[in-house]
Each structure stands twice: as structure tokens, then as C-alpha cells.
Amino acid sequence: MKFFIDTANLQQIKEAQDLGVLDGVTTNPSLMAKEGISGEKNVINHYKAICAIVDGDVSAEVISTDYENIIKEGLELAKLDDKIVVKVPMIKEGVKAIKYFSSEGIKTNCTLVFSAGQALLAAKAGATYVSPFIGRLDDISTDGLSLIEDIRLIYDNYGYETQILAASVRHAMHIIECAKIGADVMTGPLSAILTLLKHPLTDSGLAQFLADHAKAAGK
């Protein structure tokens, strides 16, 4: 399973890249705003800075909602770097744009997906990635992970190549369950990735090993 980090924070992207397990980055307008990035030039420069750090796909989201401007914006973003994946919302104009980008060989990530029907449309339009938001479904007392299971089944039934990018991942259990189901990618905060490291028996076991080693060495 590929690991993407869901942030626009350069420090956290560097930390995940240094860990050696990072396969890409996803951003969205809220994450850019959280880092205080605004204005077309600053946003573009920030995407360039992210691409310089990471080896892998970097999702950059369009903010237009009409077909002409989604295309215009997406083409500008795609020109920035081969790593850029144009992130397009699951709306009618977005589906049409994904079809166009796909015919031009431009990678896309269909975002704000909350149902299997939306995921089916994204695959038919030729999206490279589909982003079901599992955490936000959990937030409204709907099982986000069962949506990943449904999409996996549907895509496997027909051999769709669109990759399932489990998004809005909040914690280690989401990551593990997504891996069991067979999501192609997960994107989440650095904290969720780092939680995978943790087990109390690892900590107590290591402390014991080091203590025994020191005792044997007469320290």
C-alpha cells in the first residue's frame, strides 16, 4: 500500500520523506490555508517546494467549479512538475474535466467522494485516483471503511485501474483496515503514520535489552 501524507506543511513532508516510507503528498485548499499560503503565485511556489522534497505524486486541487476553468487551472498545475496530480472535485463539471485530462495523459485525483456511485463515475471517467473520505463519513456515524470495501469490490469486478486513495484517514486502525481491504493508497497526517510505530511491548522490550546489555558489560 502506498503512503501519502495529507498536509501542506513542508516540515512534516520532509520528516515523512526522511523516514523513507513516503510515496506522495495530498493537499487541499483548507490545508494550504492552514499553512497561510494564499495568492496564485504563492500557491504555485508552494507546490513547487513540495515537489522538490517528495519522490512521488503530489495532488494539487483546482478551485474552479466550471468546466472551462477547471481545465485551464488543471493544465497550469500539471505544467509545474511531472509529479503533479490534478485534484478535481466530484461534481458534474469535474467528471467531464477528469475525462478530458485522462484523454490528455494528465494524472487526476477525484476528491470529495462519499459514495460507491461517485467512485464508479470517477473510474469510468478515467481518474488516476479516487479519494473516498473515510474519516468524514465516520464523523456522521456512517462506516467509512465499508465504503472502501464496496469500491474495492466494484473496481475488481470490472478491472478498473483507478487507484483507491483512502483519504481523511485519522488513525492507525484506519490505515490497517484499509490495508486489509486492499486500498491502493492511504493519505493521512504524519501523526497517524507515526502511530504505526508504537507498541508498549516494543518500548518495554527495548528498555530490557539495553538494561541487560549494560549489566553484562558491568556498567
Chain residues binding ligand G3P by CB under 6 A are 6, 26, 28, 133, 135-136, 167-168, 187
Phi-psi region of 91 (alpha: psi -120 to 50; beta: other; left: phi over 0): beta
Report which of 68, 78, 71 is spatially closest to residue 44, judged by C-alpha positions: 78
Dihedral, CA of residue 118, residue 120, residue 126 and residue 127, to nearest 10: 50
The nearer residue to ligand G3P, 36 or 159, going by C-beta atoms, is 36
Say how far residue 196 (Cα) sits from the centre of its chain: 17
DSSP code for 150: H
Q: How far apart are CA 116 and CA 124, in angstroms?
A: 12
Q: How far is the CB of 33 from ligand G3P (least distance, A)?
A: 12
∠ CA 44-46-50 to the nearest 5 degrees?
120
Catalytic residue chosen out of the listed positions 79, 83, 87, 219: 87
User: At residue 112, what are phi and psi to the nearest 5 degrees?
Assistant: 65, 45
Residue 112 CB, nearest approach to ligand G3P (Å)? 8
CB closer to ligand G3P out of 99 and 170: 170
**Min dist. Cβ of residue 189 to ligand G3P (A):** 7
Min dist CB 87 to ligand G3P, Å, is 8
Report the residue number, 32 or 95, with the smaller CB distance to ligand G3P.
32
Nearer to ligand G3P, 126 or 189 (CB): 189
Considering beta carbons, is residue 173 or 207 the nearer one to ligand G3P?
Answer: 173
Q: What is the CA radius of gyration of the chain?
A: 19
The least distance separating ligand G3P from the CB of residue 26, rounded to whole angstroms, comes to 5
Told to judge if 87 belongs to the known catalytic residues of this protein, a careful annotator would answer yes
Residue with cell 503533479: 84
Tally of CA atoms within 13 A in the half-sphere of 107 that contains its CB: 17
Packing angle of the helix pair 92-103, 67-80 (nearest 10 deg): 40
Give the active site residues. 87
